[in-house]
């Protein structure tokens, strides 16, 4: 496991905790360039913006697409506290971002939230690798990593 991956994932998890303290769902994401510079970070804003598409990764892709061209984004890595959902995976694909590294798996999140008692979380049981496998352009995927650390951001939230 790459130490840089751990550092960036822990930052994404901290962003997820920050989103939670603001009343949003506990998800966070970073965009890192090929030289290891953090270019952007974004948190989930579903509740505060009243926007069901306000996932951390989608928010990050919106920011990144406005600031960087596709050629640059192909060399970047999106680090995220939790595996991207199908919507976010589509946005990542269309942005041109070349790699995704995530901490908590969709399966791990699903196990925590899928009892049907919380209408705020309609997690899809669809791994990002399956979405990316159907795309024309390859997206490298690394994860899950440090799931226990990422899970902590969600504990007690989805009750």
The residues annotated with a catalytic role in the active site are: 57
Residues 145 and 5: beta-carbon distance below 8 Å: yes
Q: CA–CA distance from 118 to each of 76, 121, 122 (Å)?
A: 35, 6, 8
Give 140: exposed, middle or buried? Use CB within 10 Å, 0-12, 13-18, 19+: exposed
User: In whole angstroms, how large is the CA radius of gyration of the chain?
Assistant: 14
What is the separation, in whole angstroms, between the first and last Cα of the chain? 33
Residues in CB range of 71: below 8 A, 6 or more apart: 96
């Amino acid at each position: 496991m790459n130490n840089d991956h751990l550092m960036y994932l822990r930052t994404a998890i901290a962003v997820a905790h920050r989103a939670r303290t603001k009343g949003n769902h506990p998800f966070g994401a970073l965009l890192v360039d090929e030289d290891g510079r953090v270019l952007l970070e974004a948190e989930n804003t579903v509740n505060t913006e009243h926007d069901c598409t306000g996932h951390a990764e989608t928010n990050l892709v919106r920011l990144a697409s406005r600031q960087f061209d596709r050629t640059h984004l192909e060399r970047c890595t999106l680090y995220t506290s939790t595996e991207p959902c199908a919507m976010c995976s589509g946005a990542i694909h269309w942005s041109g971002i070349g790699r995704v590294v995530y901490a908590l798996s969709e399966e791990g999140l699903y196990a925590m939230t899928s009892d049907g008692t919380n209408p705020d979380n309609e997690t899809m049981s669809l791994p990002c690798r399956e979405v990316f496998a159907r795309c024309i352009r390859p997206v490298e995927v690394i994860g899950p990593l440090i799931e226990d650390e990422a899970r902590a951001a969600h504990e007690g939230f989805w009750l």
